[in-house]
Chains A and B, each alone.
Chain A
Amino acid sequence: MNTRDGRLITVILPAGAGHGLLEKLVKEKGLTTVFLHHARGTGLSGVLKRKGLAQQIEKDMVVAAVSTGALEDIIGFIYEEGGVGKPHGGFIYIEKLSALRNSA
């Protein structure tokens, strides 16, 4: 893929959920420009929210670079299959890419 009209999708998921989503993106959507890394997250959620304390918890981050044409389809897939549409399921954000190229 070689395009100047791409989007970078970053998905923040609970620890352990990233690998499953990554596999689905590769096998069911045929993505080759996707990777996974770990992070720690801070946020106001769960029981600690009532005490005003932000909890730090392990997260998985899945990053995928896609063409603009495939964007809506992939976001919908991640929302459903990645569990982002459920409470505390995660977060997705999308950035515009100036250039995207891969070796496949």
Chain B
Amino acid sequence: MKDTLKDKRITALTDVALITCVVQKGMADDVIKAARDVGAQGSTVFYARGYGMRERLGLLGVAVDVEKEVVNIVVSTDQADRIFERMSVAAKMDTPGMGFMYMTHLNKAVTYIPPEVLEKLQPK
């Protein structure tokens, strides 16, 4: 079996963080747009069901949709705080029941890096 690590040099990005935002279904697009406006390059969104807040809010809970959208965005650490703040405003995190979000530091990230970009990143 070919040893992929020895045969191929893989460049990994290390100063990266993952922002995860759980919002009610239909709100993901606003959150993604806010993140893109301040420099985020891409995102992934998937569906989930969420429990907890609806039951705690009593009558107001009827306004909280069980169906959720989970937005994941990988960002560089120097942009992370700015993007996080913008996303929290777009997701209306100051309003009870709108969702929650968190950020985790990533060990590394790997993707295809074009040779011309890689050449610019090499130390001279």
Q: Tell whether A pairs with B.
A: yes
Residues of chain A having any CB pair with chain B under 8 Å: 7, 12, 37-44, 54, 59, 61, 72-73, 75-77, 79-80, 84-96
Residues of chain B having any CB pair with chain A under 8 Å: 2-5, 8, 10, 16, 18, 32, 36, 41-46, 72, 74, 104, 106-112, 114
Closest chain-A Cβ to B109's Cβ sits at a distance in Å of: 4
In the complex formed, the residue of B with least CB distance to A86 is B112
A80 & B4 in contact (Cβ 8 Å cutoff): yes
Residue of A41, A42, A77 with highest tally of chain B CB at under 10 A: A42
B109 & A76 in contact (Cβ 8 Å cutoff): no
- Asked if A79 meets B8 with Cβ closer than 8 Å, knowing A92-B109, A92-B111, the reply is yes
- Asked if A90 meets B111 with Cβ closer than 8 Å, knowing A54-B36, A80-B8, the reply is yes
13 contacts between A and B (CB under 8 A): A7-B107, A12-B44, A61-B46, A75-B10, A76-B5, A79-B10, A80-B4, A84-B112, A93-B16, A93-B106, A93-B110, A94-B107, A94-B108
The 7 closest A-B pairs by CB, nearest first: A43-B42, A76-B4, A39-B46, A76-B5, A92-B110, A93-B109, A94-B107
In the complex formed, the residue of B with least CB distance to A72 is B5
B43 & A42 in contact (Cβ 8 Å cutoff): yes
